[in-house]
Amino acid sequence: MPFPSPHTTPHVTSQAGGHGGQIPVERHEGAAPVFDPLAEVRSESDPRTDVYLTGTVFLDIIFTGLDSAPVRGTESWARGMGSSPGGIANMATALARLGLRTSLAAAFGDDMYGEYCWEALSRGEGIDLGLSRTVPGWHSPVTVSMAYEGERTMVSHGHEAPPPVGAPPAVAGGEPAPECPPAARACVALLVPGKQEEWIATAARRGSRIFADVGWDETGRWDPADLADLEHCEAFLPNAEEAMRYTRTDCPRAAARALADKVPLAVVTMGERGAYAVDGRTGESAEVPAILVEALDPTGAGDVFVAGFVTGTLAEWPLADRLAFAGLSAALSVQEFGGSLSAPGWVEIAAWWQHVRSFDDQSAATLRRYAFLDDVLPAATRPWPLRRAVPTLGFRRP
């Protein structure tokens, strides 16, 4: 059943368990206090960065409350609208809000959109943009997302950023990633069919754990051989349709088992049916049903799922707990506008857990499935809400 959005709860205190307790945190302007989910597994020899990622940052303009898809020759009015950083910013923000030290390499335009996205990510979310750059005279890519009937349709516009002056061939063609990525516990990569990224292999050789997603194969080939960088990956997280096409199967679970022969950990998301994972190293499998919510905007939900799964993996949680946490994070995100700024933080997750234990709107099985949160959630309060998407960039925070 749908449940009230926890973002309306200004102050939440959760039960502290084995991983809980009040943790000294670093505060970033505009961001909620950060809880460190990796505190118990960190050592002095660990790299400074938890997760590195690179890609294109878009300015997302999101319309919600549409009754149907726009019809040619007519004007449609949306009941809701929001703006936020999008593209790779969805994943970076979701990771940072879960307390991971996140480094993003991207190009930003020197227009108002680019300035807004840089400020929102750096000052608002505490994301390290030291490897990013501002490109004079280049306008920011823009996506308009229209949400209706539980899905969304997107229209995007943008041009490749010019390479940095004097850039080596490895970063030509607008690729914002440095030739050598920084030392990091993990990297998140978006695989492009038929294209190999040198930085992925470099990061894997240096000990980073690679988590890979994939986009739609516009060529229609759906040939696993086109995903050569899978050999460097620890985990692959496609959706059910993508997984079945790449494996020539008609069942998401069969697809996950087939993919586990190619990558150590295969995770297939199944939308309203949840997610299924197979660990090819141990033979372990896990399936977790989705949490039913009233979705406002599904933009970025897949990115939030990956961020939750990466967090649980780096924290060394059991496979089923990782799947459940990832699914919960994604479910909470679709109750808010936008991709990046809809991502939940620990206080929002604690608010949901407090709610489901106080109200009879979730099954006993759900309560048992998420009981592990008692040993994970921090004891913390939030003096201000997380930044959310707003209708116009003209609104400035005080």
Q: pLDDT higher for 393 or 20?
A: 393
Q: How confident is the model at residue 395 (pLDDT cuts 50, 70, 90)?
A: low
**pLDDT of amino acid 178:** 59
Is it the case that residue 51 has pLDDT exceeding 70? yes
- The upper half-sphere exposure of residue 65, i.e. CA atoms within 13 Å in the direction of its Cβ, equals 8
Query: Looking at the DSSP assignment, which residues form a beta bridge with residue 153?
Result: 146
Q: What's residue 394's pLDDT?
A: 56
The continuous run of DSSP H or E covering 51 comes out as strand 49-54
Q: Output the CA–CA distances (angstroms, integers) from residue 391 to 10, 60, 115, 153, 384, in the order listed.
A: 22, 11, 17, 18, 20
> How far are the Cα atoms of 180, 201, 274, 330 from residue 302, in angstroms, in the given order?
27, 24, 12, 7
Q: What average pLDDT score do residues 363-374 get?
A: 89
Whole-angstrom distance, CA of residue 262 vs CA of residue 96: 30
Give the end-to-end CA distance of the chain in Å, rounded to a whole number: 37
Over the chain, what is the mean pLDDT?
84
Q: pLDDT-derived band of residue 21, with 50, 70 and 90 as boundaries?
A: very low
pLDDT score for 343: 92
Angstrom distances, CA of residue 342 to CA of 46, 83, 121, 149: 30, 11, 13, 18
Report whether 179 contacts 155 (CB < 8 A): no
Edge-to-edge strand order for the sheet containing 49-54?
102-105, 49-54, 184-191, 209-214, 235-236, 265-269, 275-279, 285-288
Whether pLDDT at 398 is above 60:
no
| pLDDT over 90 (residue 251) | yes
Q: In angstroms, rounded to a whole number, what is the distance separating the alpha carbons of residues 210 and 199?
A: 11
**Highest mean pLDDT (candidates 17-21, 170-174, 176-180, 194-198):** 194-198
